[in-house]
Structure 1
């Protein structure tokens, strides 16, 4: 298969173009156009549009410079995962080199003991290279990733030991908030390969067992309206089943209600949506038994319909 996820292609027999968003088999691909619909098509019926460069493609052409000893950076090797700028269902993997070393990097995938070399090459200091692409919705089917890195420099600096990192990604790895990926100028997820060694301070560990009773847990004051829609609470909600979503929403409800009681708020509104009514029913059942709840009712219907509950606290 000569095409990769994220390639920009044009149909041979029609005035259509788009991005490769799925590799179906050796002969078929899925192409998504401006209307966001994915069309299955024979690979022989499209052609690559030359000149298109994906967002985040490495632009660094600078050779390793002579670096002053005090400025030589030895840490900062990451894998950055970012959505394609045009085909949002596709994610691209980049190796991010924030160090002053040149890196000889390799990626091999392992799918049920079937190994495939996906990338091998040099990553210059302070630069990035795209090494892999995949459908985020197919995360459960992704292979195991084997990252290998060797360090090189002409500078008078001892290189670190080679890195070998095996990673089988799960939904929780993409549950955190996206952050700015260094050197890539894109939002995404960041995994550090050269994690610093954990040094255990015995004295601090001992002190942690003898915390002063005066130390208090700071409870943040909640807003007057708490939105419990799952997409507001987790970025990875599309990978969760209904029971997991409900547990997350109820945990957030408990946390906000407890915080409202601690801060002695007179009332608080929980926005749970109408939906099938399960979350609303569970919240009302819990409120009915809570000793600190004076009463509760549907919040302003003109604003929320039947999708929110107003809770009056004692």
Structure 2
């Protein structure tokens, strides 16, 4: 790759990242305007800050999942180099279109010397695996999706079915492919579980949760993961904005009071946007000398 082309690709990736920062700022402004700040105490703000840091850390799991896929496809990238490319490009998902983070990652990855074909294949693998991971949550929300067919579906049965299906998918990946896609899939599952747990904790923090048992919290966490997945695969919705909220309102309308649910959804968006912003600045600070094609230490 010529130095001029390398600079062009770096520039394209950086421009998309900067555009992403602008749209993140606009989103933060919108969410703060929509929130009833009088209901949010200093304690709640403290928890929001903590959840944002946890969500920011969870993004590293997605970057590691991508690192494993690149290794499976024949690259030998460093962890830090992969995380840096992933983090810098990820913020562009807030740009309308819901594809610009993938375009930015493609440009930055090619600038680091990874072939275009491998990058495209890694994206296809990544989306396929995380979609599979997200669909596992359906077992937790069967009473919400099909209330007439499963009105009293035991939640413990849903959890067991989800665990069995997870084990089957992990076994299939390991036996059919190898260790790298399997580890990628596992990291993605942990990311989704953390994301769902953060939303459940937010709802517990600000809503009237009297009468809600463990089965309800499992359904709420499963509903968040399902809504996240639908937002991910919806073309044109930046970071699933609007789609995720609509799905959550539809699924949880009979479990949580509308006002509390709306506030939790807005706070959840605030947490993810701030977390993504933190993740961007942390990864951007990683020295560029960690080239994506340097041999891994593993």
Q: With structure 1 as the length reference, what TM-score do the two structures score?
A: 0.23
| Structure 1 or 2: more strand by fraction | 1
| Structure 1 or 2: more helix by fraction | 2
Rg comparison, structure with higher value: 1
Structure possessing the higher relative contact order (Cα contacts under 8 Å, 6 or more residues apart): 2
